[in-house]
Structure 1
Amino acid sequence: MDDFIAYLDTSEVQAGKLEELKTAMAELAEFVKLNEPRILAYRAYFSADGSTMSVLHFHPDVASLEFHMQVAGPKFAPIAPLLKMRSIEVFGTPTEELVAQLHAKARLLGDATVIVRDLHAGFDRLPRAEET
């Protein structure tokens, strides 16, 4: 069973809030780095004109993304006035509870669409817990 989960959300930056959002996201990234040791990558990207932000993260398994929602979840509400989330995409097989959490986050940050994409084919070269 392949438990790897990738997460991507895309948001519109509210007018005049770009610098404040960049600061908030840098702080959130540092918080995630310090408090979520299993997350493989966590990155925030902005479009060249600063109108759009995408957040991309990779998890070795569903439990890591569930942990992220639990630990970082309280940090989402303060950034709500800075953006309008348009979509959340999850690549992998999340639990029903996780999907419900993602829908709640989507409503909190802008009534975004939540899309789950199941694995069809492929591979990764990520080290497994038993290999490290």
Structure 2
Amino acid sequence: MAEVQARLQGLSEEYTKLQQELQTSVQSQQKLEAQKQENTNVQKEFERLKNGESIYKLVGPVLLKQDKVEAESTVNGRIEFISKELERTEDQIKEIQDKLEKKKGEIIQAQAGLQAGGGAPGKVAAKG
């Protein structure tokens, strides 16, 4: 019975670690979504620019003039990179959720084993 309790304790700790991993991944996903939205808004601003209007990039405390083609290329590259990271993060989240479900099943089985093991001696004692 002590083995089952120790196993249950270990499974619970693993489950908690997986929940923390999931939370971290979800936070990462939210951060990436915000960055993607920011860059998409910048991309829309570029589309509204008229020919000859200037684009400035903030570098430290200084605004530097930047070529429109270069700025658009940089933003498009960022969006592409962020999109790939989002896909990777979403896959990671699905994987962790699957592991959580599997661990949950193992915990339920261990609890059932603990209850079955704990209930049998009680029945014997009641008969005696």
| Fold match by TM threshold 0.5 | no
Q: Would you tell me which structure has more helix in proportion to its own residues? A: 2
Greater relative contact order (Cα < 8 A, sep 6+): 2
